[in-house]
Structure 1
């Protein structure tokens, strides 16, 4: 009997030992090499584990079997393991996140897009790089309610719900942040063309005066983000692109990924001769970005960038000039070498600190130094500028009843700017006799707070407000023309801007919301200090109430729908006009009534079959019915007239295919309705349709290198249109002709 027991024990011992084998593994993104946190690793008995912050897992198995790996945004995978597979290095192939899975960061609640009580547009890395990488314009214009223009190569204008009324050039009435640091200048301008697209990983747009956490602004808020993670080890990448009209783009990047962070350094050069006369572009951009989790409680980030920007200004054309020879520059632009030169060095530091599961703080500080030159037809301006600022946000989250969360956000922001400005005569594109010598100081600050409360019956209430103040001090030390020296202080009355929103989840796939918000936007420095030298200190801040309701739905797998209706009643709206001397000035209009409907439908499908790996398509529709209220100027009554510069309708359709083997095709169709060009609505820009496409191939050896080749074309229907019209221009010089059909080809190579 004893011998039988021993024999059975010896037979069972190998099985017992075999049952105790452990499997360790790491799961990474197949494209980027980044570790994936939270991947579900299940056994055949449906027990298992999720990967940790480094993408690692450990399982003890009783027998050889097949593991199932799954993670949101990635293709699931099955892998057979035995006792010899003690260390697994696994990869999951990413698929494009559908919009219902995208996290919105703008309201500090980190909720998905369908659960956000506001209209938000989000562009991730793939959406930003669907086109030639040389411009942000086509990517941004795929969103409803948002319109970006490019009057000259690199001269961006961004309109969120018609806010381009105030932007003859540059971006105003829209606040920008980059990695949580204010990127808009203290004086209200934003030089977005300083940045290269390669530095951006994500763009989030809060539409209308809904960004109470970001202070003054009736147009909206834009949040830009850099890369947040990198694969372990060092990666070196190079890229190059060539295209029509002398376009060249090339650069290099080095990224070093660590268990707790990353360091990324890059340099990018972009040049173009442009389609028109006096339309060249040249920018060198360098950026070092780092982010490290130095402890479980603290994360530190640093951002340093330098941009050397030069672009020429061809100027506006009359309709007759536009139709006869759209490549010509405005008379005088070539002789005076009209252009913009901007050299900016920026440094920013960010600390995120988590005291516990409830309390968190994010604080950032920054500084910039700028050398600015702007030769135009009527003068030559040279500025030396500096800016300092910071922002701090405290967040508290907890439950007020079991299952019902509430949160509180509070903080402040401060920006200080100084500008030493010399204005000269422009003689042949060179500064000559000094006209004016000015010193301008800007101080702006805001305090903000927001409370969010989850209620029974799937309701959620949000209440927010901000306290905003802006001060200018103008000191004129020299005036050659009339000797009118001044020392003026202009302070805009502090304003409290509230926002209240109510969200209701009707179904797991259906939600509705409504909000009321107040917007406040004082004049920028460029609007107060007229380029001709005078001071327009009579301008008032524009203010208004915005009413908005929306529906968000995911009716079936892969589908997402969003419909928003809004009305903005704006008082003292600022609008630009250009005099016979070519100088752009601003005036308050009295009132505007801006109402509209914006819709978005997206569909994403994966694994069509043997050849097609995936399809992504979106349809964005914009209807804006914007009219003047009470507005009388120089004896003319413009009440009921359409706001100039705002198309009434716009459509953008995207269709992207991914084919197995690394091939893809991106195509875009966009249509813009006719655009009124003056307050009286006597002149209009014609409607136009633009079609673009990009064909590419990616070859990815995940452990070694990645190669990418692509070709594409813009304006494939060869439409004649004006991308960026000068509103209320003297002598009808409204038009800034865009390039006809153009092509490009590019490549990138990354060594891992």
Structure 2
């Protein structure tokens, strides 16, 4: 009898002894994650409010962990184990999304500015060959790609100043100044894989970031999210000879991480003379040092080549949309650029209430540009850095002060030679310059948190800019000379007030001043003229907005109204030789509304279809010329060139516990005026695209993704970017019709 009792007791105790416990935590915040779907050992369970789940495991079992807001993963559970598992967040509500707006990390709902955040999940929902499609889902932002790898960005404004390249927008990469001191940005040197997420500040941000009325784009490449070694291989193919592959390695260290990646992307192009090829190598490191100090290092090398098909007239588009501008092929219109960028940033503590961040970079670039009108060669060297000191202290029981001050300095020297172009080769030298640019600014900002959740922000900067153009040779005049301009120092203030309503809603209002001086390419043109009389654009922006999260954090809303008065607007015109020139054009009156809404129709981790998310963005930019006279022409009251009055974007995301996902995007763009006289418009158009894929974790080491997609499903005839005020009526840069792509990603965790 005693043996029987012992046996029964043993059978009863064994299940208890075989119980294992898992605590599921957020990989970023370390907070418990409830309602995680745990499948394995023949049962389906969910974690409780503490992130805990109990699993009966008499032997080692594999469980599948999934949650609508986190990336799924497998985990091996041993008998009687007590383990902690960290999940990587996908997308979260406004109250949880932490962004760095005006140098202060805060939840998005507490940002007193029009700030938008693009997560890595949102960046990868499209073809992944460029940032264009993802950026265009953000209200108030328009990104164009007139030729493959030829980008321009417009934030709350016209693309008038961007015949090529990125102007009027300040860009940082991993907290390091990436925009050149003259205001231009070679965004095409980066691959999408060099970016983990993006923060976009819309409107003048000069009180903290210097010149640029459009705003600021912060490109981040976070290395802190992986805790194991990961080797990745990716391959993609698509229409028009597209191919792209990527090899990457991420290795955790005792006190940090290192990562290296190589990307090669190639395409024959949709049009004649539109082939492209880009190779990008990145090496990054991140180290945690003593006393809460942190060091980041990034090295980027890019070898870029892309052909320039040129713009067409309406008649040429009707005849053959794939043709290049006459002469482009014979003269090999193209760009070849090799560039090296190395930057470091250091975060360090200076005591109980003080912290500081210092970053610096050096870069070199070789640039060849045979074009229809000339052949340009440039060699550039530059360096710069930024430092800021922040003070964080509680003032009594109900007030809090956060104060940040610092400065930024940048310098570049460019040797620029312009030749004639004979058969795509440089011919006789026309003129040769050494171009020196120096810009620096000092800034300070204080944010006070008052009782009843009022936040007051006051910021101010003083900005300096100097151009020195040393013309060494000029074949037209036979003279050598030096031209210099010191722009008057500019004081740039900003004042903002925010009132939180509960934990998940806020109202905000802001007044900010902005300025944007001409770039060196606008002062010194390809036909040899130097226009140092070109003045900086200056303007004042008035803004009110609302952010809120509703319906158990399933509905997010963001609404902004702004009124921007811009003076000395810089516009383009084209000489009879086809050279783009610039001039100040009086004032513009810019009124706008921007709305972003996203909500989860279905969010049930335990169901097969565990997520259905809809998102909508609306941009209403009602911009007019004001007091714009050019000789005998009066364009006052006309629509601002290059701006679509209305843009509407709708997205659908569907995910399932089987690993299958679907992304669908619809974009409507209103008609766009293509000249100042408003006599030529690009017709409105609808773009529809979709991507479907399957993700599978075969163990706790192997992850596989297979995907395919279609762009421009409706086969719309449109331009992905137009030429504005061109000579010879060459307005249009036709984009591809319906086209597809597909690829595979394989990652091994060790």
TM-score (norm 1): 0.90
The aligned runs of 1:382-397 (5 Å cut-off) are: 382-397=377-392
Structure 2 residue aligned with 1:577 = 573
Q: Distance in 2 between matches of 1:566 and 1:708?
A: 42
Q: Distance between the aligned counterparts of 2:612 and 2:95, measured in 1?
A: 16
| Partner in structure 2 of residue 37 of structure 1 | 30
Deviation, 1:101, is 2.0
Query: Counterparts of 2:239 and 2:67 in 1: how far apart (Å)?
Result: 42
The within-5 A match list for 1:351-390 is 351-390=346-385
C-alpha contact 2:372 2:421 (8 A) present in aligned 1 = yes
- Match status 1:715 vs 2:712: yes
Q: Distance in 2 between matches of 1:222 and 1:197?
A: 14
User: Of the candidates 310, 314, 328, which is equivalent to residue 315 of structure 1?
Assistant: 310
Secondary structure of residue in 2 paired with 1:166: coil
- Deviation per CA, 1:27-84: give whole Å up to 9, x if none: 677xxxx687344799xxx999999xxxxxxxxxxxxxxxxx999954999x9999x6
Deviation at 1:510, TM superposition (A): 2.6
Alignment partner, residue 43 of structure 2: none
CA contact (8 A) 1:39 1:70 kept: no
1:220-231 pair list within 5 angstroms: 220-231=215-226
Please say if residues 230 and 262 of structure 1, whose CA atoms lie closer than 8 Å, have aligned partners that are also in contact.
Answer: no
Q: Deviations 1:625-653 (Å, cap 9, x if unpaired)?
A: 10011111021111101111000000000
Of 472, 477, 480, which aligns to 1:482?
477
Distance 1:251 1:48 in 2: 40
Contact 2:28 2:88 in 1 (8 A): no
Q: From 585, 594, 598, give the equivalent of 1:589.
A: 585
Provide closer, same or farther for how the CA distance between residues 547 and 454 of structure 1 changes in structure 2, counting only shifts above 3 A: same
Listed as ranges, the matches of 1:524-563 within 5 Å are 524-557=519-552, 558-563=554-559
Q: Write the distance in 2 (CA, Å) between the matches of 1:487 and 1:393.
A: 36
Q: What secondary structure, in the 3-state scheme, does the structure 2 residue paired with 1:667 have?
A: strand
1:97 alignment partner in structure 2: 92
Structure 1 residues 47 and 602: CA distance shift in structure 2, 3 A: closer
Matched, 1:745 2:747: no
Give the alignment partner of residue 171 of structure 2, picking from 176, 192, 195: 176
* C-alpha displacement of 1:673: 0.1
* Aligned mates of 2:173, 2:551 — CA distance in 1: 35
The 2-side partners of 1:70 and 1:733 are apart by: 53
Count matched residues: 711
Distance 1:138 1:334, change over 3 A: same
Q: Is the 8 A contact 1:38 1:71 kept in 2?
A: no
Q: Which residue of 2 aligns with 1:340?
A: 335
Q: 1:4 maps to which residue?
A: none
Whether 1:260 and 2:252 are equivalent positions in the alignment is no
Answer with 267-276 or 94-103: which moved more: 94-103
What SS does structure 1 have at the residue aligned with 2:461?
strand
Structure 2 residue ranges without an equivalent (≥5): 1-15, 36-46, 53-64
Aligned-residue offset at 1:86? 4.5
Q: Is the 8 A contact 2:206 2:515 kept in 1?
A: no
SS of corresponding position for 1:731: helix
> Relative to 1, partners in 2 of residues 1:561 and 1:292: Cα closer, same or farther, differing over 3 Å?
same
Cα root mean square deviation, aligned: 2.8
Mapped contact 2:556–2:597 kept (Cα < 8 A): yes
Deviations 1:535-594 (A, max 9, x none): 011100110000000111223221011111101100101111222211011100111111
Take 1:168 and 1:402, find their aligned partners in 2: how far apart are those partners? 54
Give 1:732 shift: 1.2
TM-score under structure 2 length normalisation: 0.90
Counterpart position of 2:39: none
Provide the C-alpha distance between the structure 2 equivalents of 1:324 and 1:200, rounded to a whole number of angstroms.
Answer: 40
- The structure-2 alpha-carbon separation of the partners of 1:267 and 1:417, relative to structure 1 and needing over 3 Å to count, comes to same
SS of 1:233's equivalent in the other structure is coil
Give the conservation status (yes or no) of the 8 Å contact 2:158–2:642.
no
How many Å apart are 1:323 and its aligned residue? 2.0
Contact conserved, 2:574 with 2:725, CA < 8 A, in 1? Answer: yes
Judge conservation of contact 1:445–1:468 (CA < 8 Å) in 2. Answer: yes
Q: What's the CA shift for 1:730?
A: 1.1
Task: Report the counterpart of residue 453 of structure 2 in structure 1.
Answer: 458
d(CA) in 2 for partners of 1:134, 1:81: 39
Secondary structure of 1:615 counterpart = strand
Q: What is the rounded CA distance, in whole Å, between the counterparts of 1:164 and 1:48 in structure 2?
A: 50
Q: Secondary structure of 1:150's partner? A: strand
Structure 2 vs 1, CA of residues 611 and 394 (structure 1 numbering), >3 Å: closer, same or farther? same
Post-superposition shift, 1:319?
1.1
Residue ranges of structure 1 left out of the alignment (5+ in a row): 1-18, 52-68
- Aligned partner (choices 636, 641, 647) of residue 639 of structure 1: 636
SS of match in other structure, 1:396: strand
- Cα shift at 1:355: 2.5
Partners of 1:336 and 1:376 within 8 A in 2: yes
Whether the 8 Å contact between 1:35 and 1:231 is mirrored in structure 2 is no
